[in-house]
Structure 1
Amino acid sequence: MGNEHRLLWPLVCLVLGTGLVAAVLGASRAAAPQHGEVAGAYVDIREVPREAAPPTPTGPEGSAGRVTVDCGRNAEGHWNEDNLVVSPGLRAGAHHTHAYVGNLSTDAMSDDASLAAAATSCSGGDRSTYYWPVLRRLDRPGTRAHEASAGHGNAGEILPEAAVGVEFRGSPVSKVVPMPRFLRAITGDAVAYTAGKDADVRARWGCTGFPDRSTTDYPRCPAGSLLTRTLVFPSCWNGLDTGAPGHRSHLRFPSAQGVCPQGTFPVPELRLSLSYAVAAGTPIALDSFPEQRHSPRTDHAMFVDVMTDEQMREVVGCLNEGRVCRT
């Protein structure tokens, strides 16, 4: 009997120990994001091929100006899971978290009147709303309320933007006309991973100090370089609608030479430039729909123009006259 007890105890300890390890690992997995769930390769920016020369320079009929709108970098902590452009009136319709600059009231329930009456983070008074999915680091759990509210596999500490650039550019081949107030716009493809095509993939990822290299993968940047996201919006308007089914047909992209499709008119081209301080080797993930697996190809952004007619005239005048302006 004594021998049987001596043989049984190691077996009991082994079973209990295995169960304890499994429980700890299970709790750890539940609390921490799974790095393997992220779709998309990491690429060293120094190994990305240099890009060809930029498009044709602005011709004599073009609009060579640039306008920078200073809207800060979301110091106000404006985040939510809404998407006013794609899912108006639907709370948490994005299924992932968006970060904002500009209009401080924007959520799913916003309308033209509420946007026009709201406060703004833009120093020149632009009440437009500019927003994009957040970027997270996966080696740290999100502990604040807004970091856990999205669900759907979007977890981890949200990386703050080191800088947010809001810039409008003209057309290389013609003057631009004003955007209509309350124009809705989207760039990028939030379902690119499962769509099986890259026609609407527009965001480019890169690193500061490497202006001629960009990628649709997650870049690895050398020490001292910031990770960047650049999102360019369509700039050819049909002259009729401020929004459309599918959120795209009223605004089209120009050709590589800057020519707008027939039946559309060139409006100021919006560019959002986001940068982040990310230590080398840090696992990162873009917020996304669950089935998109945080692919960097799904990066996208939205915009609602709430500039007054006078503010828009100033932007257009600066672009058409070839000046460099800041608001």
Structure 2
Amino acid sequence: MHWSSLTALALVAPSSALLRFGCSQLVVQRIDPLVNPGIAPSPHLHQLIGGNALNIFMDPKEDIGEKATCTTCQFSEDFSNYWTAVMFFKAKNGSVKRVPQIPNIGFEGANGGMTVYYMQDGLANYQQTSKVTAFKQGFRMLIGEAASRTKKESQQFRQITYTCLETPGTRFPETMYFPTKPCPAGIMANVRFPTCWDGKNLDSPDHRSHMAYPESGTFESGGPCPASHPVRVPQLMYETIWDTSSFNDKALWPEDGSQPFVWSMDDTTGFGSHGDYVFGWKGDSLQRAMDSPCYVNCPTLKTQSMTAMNKCSVPKTVTEDVDSSCPTPPTPTSELTRKIDLQP
């Protein structure tokens, strides 16, 4: 469905809360304050959006919703940080070039970034009537595994997919692997997080175990949460549009005809896609939004101009050429955890 149609339906739908908003780029650099806190440079490059309280440590005891002074997101009360890996194009001659990001439909003028969703029900359900509990201060989570290279490895994470955009409005089909043909309007990387929380832990050692998927069915079908994770939270989703249009000349692609795109952790399959989230909404603003008649836009939240979104930034911690840095092989999560534990 084209977003112009979705927006039109939003004007008449008797709905509750579905937030869809754009966030401009905050910084592109080799840091990962969730998996590699305090380590700079981190094992691979990330693109990050959200509030300017971002730092390499991200102490969970700090309320970044109070600490931040600006955000790259449309809703000015959202100082959360959201990030993914970075996509590169590896040409036949071995040269590497970072693929730029472009804004989604409806957010033209934004400096790259991503589109973020918070949903009470599946995207196609215009009613959005289910009750959800907003994330709490200090909450964080990770979805996906940077080291995954096969479909079997990535199947444990539902709905981390790609859409080959024929036009900016294309939304299907979705694949779990990188598109194998040129995509005229770019590649959309979709990341959807689990929707059931244990109700106790704001994080876990692997940043995943405190979250779960419905025990049967899916979030979209209203599947129930398991007894171990009984609290239903919003469906958090990222859409990142990578502008691959300038790399679609097949003469530049590998001799064997394989697809030329690679994630910053040296993943040419696409199965290593992942997303990180650190909650930072100010006060109870997210819960108020989830309890209000919001659909795409939300009158209960404060919004800011595109100029203000694009203006917010943070200084770089790592000095590096992020446009042509060679992607790096991933470090297994277990080894990353061990390295962090050994930090003084």
* Shared fold per TM-score greater than 0.5: yes
Q: TM-score, normalised by structure 2?
A: 0.64
Aligned partner of 1:236 among 191, 196, 203: 196
CA distance in 2, matches of 1:322, 1:124: 13
Q: Which has the higher helix share?
A: 1
1:128 and 2:80 aligned: yes
1:99 and 2:59 aligned: no
Aligned partner of 2:23 among 55, 67, 71: 71
How has the CA–CA distance of structure 1 residues 114 and 160 changed in structure 2, closer, same or farther, with 3 Å as cutoff?
Answer: farther
CA distance in 2, matches of 1:234, 1:250: 10
CA distance in 2, matches of 1:236, 1:179: 11
Q: What are the Cα deviations for residues 77-100 of structure 1, in whole angstroms up to 9, with x where unaligned?
A: x0222222222222233x110001
Is the Cα contact below 8 Å between 2:150 and 2:269 reproduced in 1?
Answer: no
How has the CA–CA distance of structure 1 residues 140 and 222 changed in structure 2, closer, same or farther, with 3 Å as cutoff?
Answer: closer
Alpha-carbon offset, residue 64 of structure 1: 5.7
Alpha-carbon offset, residue 298 of structure 1: 0.4
CA distance in 1, matches of 2:22, 2:185: 22
Structural RMSD (CA): 2.9
1:158 and 2:98 aligned: yes
Aligned partner of 2:164 among 202, 207, 213: 207
Is the Cα contact below 8 Å between 2:82 and 2:277 reproduced in 1?
Answer: yes
1:308 and 2:282 aligned: yes
Output the amino acid matched with 1:79: V
For 1:164-313, list aligned pairs within 5 A: 164-171=114-121, 174-193=130-149, 197=153, 198-200=155-157, 202-208=159-165, 209=167, 210-220=170-180, 224-254=184-214, 255-256=217-218, 257-258=221-222, 259-263=224-228, 264-279=230-245, 280=248, 281=250, 283-288=260-265, 293-313=267-287
Report SS of the residue matched to 1:204.
strand
Greater mean alpha carbon deviation, residues 114-123 or residues 299-308: 114-123
Q: What are the Cα deviations for residues 208-259 of structure 1, in whole angstroms up to 9, with x where unaligned?
A: 3442301122115666422110000111111111101211111112242332
Identical-residue share of aligned pairs (%): 21
Output the amino acid matched with 1:245: P
Alpha-carbon offset, residue 305 of structure 1: 0.7
Output the amino acid matched with 2:90: L
How has the CA–CA distance of structure 1 residues 110 and 267 changed in structure 2, closer, same or farther, with 3 Å as cutoff?
Answer: same
Is the Cα contact below 8 Å between 1:83 and 1:107 reproduced in 2?
Answer: no
CA distance in 1, matches of 2:179, 2:150: 21
Alpha-carbon offset, residue 207 of structure 1: 2.0
Q: Which residue of 2 aligns with 1:39?
A: none
Runs of 4 or more consecutive aligned structure 1 residues displaced over 6 Å after TM superposition: none
Output the amino acid matched with 1:158: R
How has the CA–CA distance of structure 1 residues 201 and 192 changed in structure 2, closer, same or farther, with 3 Å as cutoff?
Answer: farther
Size of the aligned set, in residue pairs, is 245
Q: What are the Cα deviations for residues 189-223 of structure 1, in whole angstroms up to 9, with x where unaligned?
A: 21212795331364201123442301122115666
CA distance in 2, matches of 1:295, 1:106: 30
Q: Which residue of 2 aligns with 1:83?
A: 32
Q: TM-score, normalised by structure 1?
A: 0.67
CA distance in 2, matches of 1:310, 1:297: 35
Output the amino acid matched with 1:124: F
Structure 1, unmatched stretches of 5+, are: 1-62, 143-154
1:115 and 2:64 aligned: yes
Structure 2, unmatched stretches of 5+, are: 1-14, 104-113, 123-128, 254-259, 304-344
Greater mean alpha carbon deviation, residues 248-257 or residues 192-201: 192-201
Is the Cα contact below 8 Å between 1:101 and 1:129 reproduced in 2?
Answer: yes
Report SS of the residue matched to 2:287.
helix
Is the Cα contact below 8 Å between 1:135 and 1:286 reproduced in 2?
Answer: yes
How has the CA–CA distance of structure 1 residues 322 and 190 changed in structure 2, closer, same or farther, with 3 Å as cutoff?
Answer: same
Alpha-carbon offset, residue 105 of structure 1: 4.0
Report SS of the residue matched to 2:47.
strand
Report SS of the residue matched to 1:285.
strand
Higher Rg:
1
Output the amino acid matched with 1:80: Q
